[in-house]
Structure 1
Amino acid sequence: MHTFQPYPIDMLDINPFTKLSKEWALVTAGDKEKSNTMTVSWGGTGVLWGKNVVFIFIRESRYTKDFIDNGEFFSLSFLSEKYRDALKYCGAHSGRGEDKWSKAGLSPATRHGIPYPDEANLVFLCRKMAAVPIEEASFTDKAIMRQWYGDHDMHTMYVGEIIEVAAR
C-alpha cells in the first residue's frame, strides 16, 4: 500500500483539457468489501454550487454506474503512463463477471471509506451531488445524438464535490 497525503486543491497544476481526455482517469465507487472501477475520458473540474467539483459521464450499460447510483461517494484517480494498459483494460471490461481489479493489475484501496486504485498518483475523493440523465431531447445539435448515441446507450452526468485531493 502506498501512503497518500492530503494535497491542497489550490496547488493543483493540471491541464483541464488533457487530464481526462488524453491521460484518462479511473472512476471508482463502492466500499471496502465490493467496488468497481472504470476508465473515463469525458468530464472535467470546476466550481459549481459554491463547491469545487468534478463532473463525469457514465453510460447506462456500465457496471460501475450501479455502484455510483447506490452510493454517496466515488473517486476519480489519475495514474502514470506506466498504467496505460490497466486503463485500457478497465475501459474495455465490465467487472460484472470477473475480478477486474486483479485482471487489470490494480489493487483496491480506501481512504475515508472511498475506494480508489492504490497505484494512482492523484485521487479526487468526491461526494455525489447530482446525477443528471442525458436525454435525446436535450440536444440542440442533433448530430451529437447520431454520432455518439446510435445505440441509445445514454450517459448520466455525475457531479461530485471534491471533499479531498490526495497524492502520493
Structure 2
Amino acid sequence: MHTFQTYPSDMFEIDPFTKIGSEWMLITSGNREKANALTASWGGLGFLWGKNVAFIFIRKSRYTKEFIDNGETFSMTFFDKKYKNDLKYFGAVSGRQEDKFKTSGLNLNYHNDVPFVDEGNLAFICKKMAAVPITKDMFIDMDIDEKWYSKANLDDYHTMYIGEITDILAR
C-alpha cells in the first residue's frame, strides 16, 4: 500500500475542468467487506452549506450507485496518465459481473474506513450530504435530454450526490 498524507484544503489548487473532465476519476463506495468503483468525468468542487464539497453524477443503472445509496461516504480518486486504460476498463465493465479490482490489479486502500484506490495520487474523501435525482422535467435546455438521455438511455437519468470533502489525500 502507498502512503497518503492529508493535504490542507486552504493550500490546495486544482483545475477541476481538466482533472475531472479530461483526466477522469474513480468514484468508490462501500466498506471493507465489499466495495465498487466506476469511472466518472462529470462532477465538480466548490463551497456549499458552509462546507467544502464535491458533487458527482451517477446513473440509476450503475452498480456503484447501490453502494453510495446504502452508505454515508464515497471517494473520488485521481491518477497519473499511465492508468487511463484502467479507467476505461472501470467505465466499461460492471462490478455486478466481476470483481473489477481483482481483474484490473488495482487495489483498495482505506481512510477512516472509506475505500479509495491505492494507485491514485490524489483522493477526496467525502461524506454524503444530499442526493438529488435528475429528471426530464428539470431541463430548461431540452437538447440536454436529447443528447445525454436519448432512447438508448431512456429513464437512466443520473442522481447528483453532494458530499462534504472531509479529507484530501495526496502521495
Q: Under TM normalisation by the shorter chain, which class is it?
A: over 0.9
Q: Match for 1:48: what amino acid?
A: L
Task: Give me the TM-score of the superposition, normalised by structure 1.
Answer: 0.98
1:37 and 1:109 map into 2 onto residues whose CA distance is 12
Q: What's the counterpart of residue 145 of structure 1? A: 145
Q: What's the counterpart of residue 77 of structure 1? A: 77
2:66 and 2:104 map into 1 onto residues whose CA distance is 20
SS of 2:2's equivalent?
A: coil
Is 2:161 the counterpart of 1:154?
no
Q: Match for 1:105: what amino acid?
A: G
Q: Match for 1:166: what amino acid?
A: L
Q: Is the 8 A contact 1:122 1:165 kept in 2?
A: yes
Q: What's the counterpart of residue 92 of structure 1? A: 92
Q: Match for 1:134: what amino acid?
A: I
Equivalent pairs: percent with the same residue?
58
Shift of 1:89: 0.4
Q: Which moved more, 1:3-12 or 1:36-45?
A: 3-12
Q: Match for 2:164: what amino acid?
A: E
Deviation track 1:95-138 (CA, whole Å, cap 9, x = no partner) reads 11211112222001111000011101011000000000000000
Q: Where do 5+ consecutive residues of structure 2 fail to align?
A: none
Q: Which structure carries more helix by proportion?
A: 2
**Aligned residue-pair number:** 168
Task: Give me the TM-score of the superposition, normalised by structure 2.
Answer: 0.96
Is 2:50 the counterpart of 1:50?
yes
Q: What's the counterpart of residue 118 of structure 1? A: 118
Q: Match for 1:164: what amino acid?
A: D
SS of 2:88's equivalent?
A: helix
Q: Where do 5+ consecutive residues of structure 1 fail to align?
A: none
Q: What's the counterpart of residue 13 of structure 2? A: 13
Q: Match for 1:93: what amino acid?
A: V
1:92 and 1:10 map into 2 onto residues whose CA distance is 35
Shift of 1:13: 1.8
SS of 1:27's equivalent?
A: strand
Q: What's the counterpart of residue 170 of structure 2? A: 167
SS of 1:13's equivalent?
A: coil
Deviation track 1:29-71 (CA, whole Å, cap 9, x = no partner) reads 0001100001010010000111000000000000000000000
SS of 1:19's equivalent?
A: helix
